[in-house]
């Protein structure tokens, strides 16, 4: 099978890779770019832990063909921290014990960032809706919801 050349922006940096036809974005990011922050959970769009932002919009990277992101801008958890500092959402997740085993955390953070980027002060229902595509086994969601609301509150008052 011939390889397809592919260029896109990855966390603000231009990258160029060769992918096999049919390769999904999750595999391209993890195996070809070396960004291990999007996780493989179910591989069929049921768990949300592979979530990334494509041109600012939340997508499941396991269900996205890599070749469809040519020329577009991909954000992953790896690009979330601001210099040496954690993003306010990451800080809030740590402060609110919103991660236990941590496997859902990258997807939760991307879903939360996608929400706060378009709606800086969401209601609790809007937070629940925003992470409803993400499954968490450990936390019971409550600490995650509280962390996102706290990050939004902190941002609003800042």
Partner 1 sequence: MTRHRGRGIASINYPIGMNLGGDPSQALVHSNPSGKFTVALSSIDLGQGMKSVTRQICAETLGVPVEDVYVDTADSDTGPHCMGSFASRGTHRVGNAVMAAAREARGVMMEAAAEELEVNAADLETDGRGNIHVKGAPHRSISTKDVAIAAQFKQGKTISGRGIFLVPLSAVDPETGEMSPATCYAHACLVAEVDVDDETGEVAMVRMDSAYELGRALNPRLVEQQLVGGAWMGISHALYETTEPVYPEPLHGPRDFVEYLMPGPGDICPHDIAVLERPAPDGPFGAKGPGEMCANPVLPAVANAIFNAVGVHIDDLPITPEKVLRAIKAQGGARPQARR
Show the binding pattern over residues 122-151: x = contacts partner 1 (CB under 8 A), - = does not: ------xx-xx-xxxxxxxxxxxx------
DSSP string, 83-128: TTBPPHHHHHHHHTT--SS-SSHHHHHHHHHHHHHH-SS--HHHHH
Which member of 54, 78, 86, 100 binds partner 1 (CB under 8 A)? 100
Nearest CB to partner 1, comparing residues 76 and 134: 134
Nearest CB to partner 1, comparing residues 2 and 44: 44
Which member of 6, 26, 27, 47 binds partner 1 (CB under 8 A)? 47
Q: Are 19 and 4 in contact (CB under 8 A)?
A: yes
For 151, the enclosing helix (H) or strand (E) is helix 142-157
Least distance (Å) between residue 28 CB and partner 1: 22
List of residues contacting partner 1 (CB under 8 A): 42, 44, 46-47, 97, 99-102, 128-129, 131-132, 134-145
């Amino acid at each position: 099978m011939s390889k397809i050349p592919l260029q896109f922006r990855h966390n603000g940096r231009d990258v160029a890779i060769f992918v096999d036809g049919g390769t999904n974005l999750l595999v391209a990011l993890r195996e070809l770019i070396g960004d291990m922050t999007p996780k493989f959970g179910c591989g069929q769009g049921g768990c949300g832990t592979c979530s990334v932002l494509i041109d600012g919009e939340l997508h499941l990277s396991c269900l996205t063909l890599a070749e469809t992101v040519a020329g577009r801008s991909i954000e992953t958890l790896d690009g979330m921290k601001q210099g040496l500092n954690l993003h306010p959402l990451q800080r809030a997740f740590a402060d609110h014990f919103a991660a236990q085993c941590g496997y859902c955390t990258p997807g939760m953070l991307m879903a939360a960032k996608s929400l706060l980027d378009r709606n800086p002060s969401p209601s609790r229902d809007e937070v629940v809706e925003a992470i409803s595509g993400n499954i968490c086994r450990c936390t019971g969601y409550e600490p995650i919801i509280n962390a996102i609301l706290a990050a939004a509150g902190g941002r609003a008052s800042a």
